[in-house]
Structure 1
Amino acid sequence: MTALRALDERVHSATGRQMHYVACEAAAGFAAIGDEEEIGAVVWDRKDELAEYVTYGFFKPVQEYLNDTLAEPVTTA
């Protein structure tokens, strides 16, 4: 993965953990889980399927980045 830019950071309301949101692109190879206690899965998905994984909506800066970057806005619950 290649980091493109930092989007924002916050303390996650459900976990209390500090979260950093970074826009990335695939550079080579494949995505893999580095810490199974922190990350449940890595998937490459179509934008119309994102709501299946993020049922509570995206953090606002992430939603804005997706809307600005993708051809069609992403809609979640």
Structure 2
Amino acid sequence: MTQPRAEERPGIAAAIVVCEGRVLLVRRRVSEGKLSWQFPAGEVELGESREDAAVRETQEETGLDVAAVKLLGERIHPATDRLMSYTACEVVGGTAHVADSDELAELAWVTHAEIPQYVPHGLLGPVQAHLDAMLTSGF
């Protein structure tokens, strides 16, 4: 049986959440290939925007309430072959914790210098540029 092509499967929306000089990363219970740590993310549901999916997934996975600020970009992820969108989000309430223990093992607020330890394969250019700006400017 052949795998569906990336464009035939729902896209994945990721939330880039920065707060107090750190970015939120989550570790899934089941790794996707080499991916262990990643941004809060999940499938875009029918009729849902990529930004709304990023907000919803963050709340479902971490209990954190965020608001979408800007779509940073999208690509076919080289490790998963899934269509990924990346949305910058700001915290509007709540405290981050593992809200979905079936999906997540843990979460971490990571400094700019720590990103390569958690995500050694690098980030999409616009995501890296956003984090460079947000995490080195004191936001």
After superposition, the Cα gap between the structure-2 partners of 1:7 and 1:41, relative to the gap in structure 1 and judged at 3 Å, is farther
Paired residues, number = 70
Q: Indicate conservation of the 8 Å contact 1:33/1:41, yes or no.
A: no
- Determine if the alignment matches structure 1 residue 47 to structure 2 residue 117: no
Identify, as 1 or 2, the structure richer in strand.
2
Q: Which moved more, 1:21-30 or 1:62-71?
A: 62-71
Give the structure-1-normalised TM-score.
Answer: 0.72
> How far 1:60 sits from its partner (Å)?
0.7
- Higher-Rg structure is 2
Contact between 1:33 and 1:42, CA under 8 Å: does it hold in 2?
no
Give the Cα separation in 2 of the matches to 1:15 and 1:40: 20
> Structure 2 stretches of 5 or more lacking a match?
1-65
State the TM-score, normalized to the length of structure 2: 0.43
- 1:57 alignment partner, SS class: coil
Residue 21 (structure 1) aligned with residue 86 (structure 2): yes
Q: Which runs of 5+ in 1 are unaligned?
A: 73-77
Q: Percent identity at matched positions?
A: 39
Moved over 4 A (4+): 32-35
For 1:26, give the aligned amino acid.
V
Q: How far does the alpha carbon of each residue in 1:11-55 deviate from its partner, in whole angstroms, 9 at most, with x for none?
A: 11111111110111211112345571xx66432122221111111
